[in-house]
């Protein structure tokens, strides 16, 4: 092979490698610029906020009201899944059982939450001057009222 041919191949290889490196670099730079200009939206955090109105006891739903809600829920499931009658009955029974367990869970949780909240508030009250206590009580009233408005339908995460 002649010297000119070897030099030509070397230049061709260097040119091809340069174009490849330049293309990859521009691609990475472009990607970074696009992401920096328009960052992806963060997914909304799940707050899992739980609040109970400890100033009143919730009115429990009647047996008939709970049965009506269960039947409505089963109808929605049936509309999507075309359940057999036996499946409908089994699902309604399952919802009743789990509804009772959930009610016990939320009642217990509500009681423990309210006891803990009262203990915390009482402990803070003991540390405050009379003027601070007055401001603290106003703050508690404001927070409780705001939470009542926010959770108008119920005093718990789930309507009763």
Is the pLDDT at 150 greater than 50, yes or no?
yes
- The mean pLDDT value for 71-85 works out to 92
pLDDT the model gives residue 38: 67
pLDDT the model gives residue 126: 97
Residues 21 and 90 in one domain: no
Residues 68 and 142 in one domain: yes
Residues 146 and 71 in one domain: yes
Residues 105 and 143 in one domain: yes
Is the pLDDT at 155 greater than 50, yes or no?
no
Q: Is residue 24 part of a domain?
A: yes
Residues 33 and 74 in one domain: no
Digit-coded pLDDT (tens) for 12-62: 888 888 888 888 888 888 877 777 776 666 665 556 667 788 888 778 888
- Sequence length of the chain is 160
Residues 76 and 13 in one domain: no
Residues 68 and 16 in one domain: no
Domain count across the chain: 2
Residues 31 and 75 in one domain: no
Whether the full predicted model's pTM is greater than 0.75, yes or no, is no
Residues 71 and 146 in one domain: yes
Residues 72 and 108 in one domain: yes
Residues 111 and 70 in one domain: yes
Q: Is residue 49 part of a domain?
A: no
The domain of 24 spans 1-38
Q: Is residue 57 part of a domain?
A: no
Residue 47 CA from chain centroid, whole number: 5
């Amino acid at each position: 092979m002649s010297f000119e041919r070897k030099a030509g191949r070397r230049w061709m290889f260097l040119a091809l490698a340069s174009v490849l490196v330049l293309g990859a670099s521009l691609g990475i730079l472009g990607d970074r610029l696009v992401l920096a200009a328009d960052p992806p939206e963060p997914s909304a955090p799940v707050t899992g906020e739980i609040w109970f109105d400890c100033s009143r006891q919730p009115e429990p739903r009647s047996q008939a009201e709970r049965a009506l809600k269960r039947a409505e829920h089963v109808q929605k499931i049936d509309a999507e899944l075309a359940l057999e009658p036996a499946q409908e009955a089994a699902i309604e029974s399952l919802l009743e059982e789990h509804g009772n367990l959930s009610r016990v869970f939320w009642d217990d949780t509500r009681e423990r939450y309210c006891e803990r909240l009262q203990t915390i508030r009482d402990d803070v009250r003991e540390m405050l001057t009379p003027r601070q206590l007055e401001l603290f009580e106003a703050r508690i009233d404001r927070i409780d009222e705001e939470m009542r408005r926010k959770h108008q339908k119920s005093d718990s995460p789930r309507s009763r």
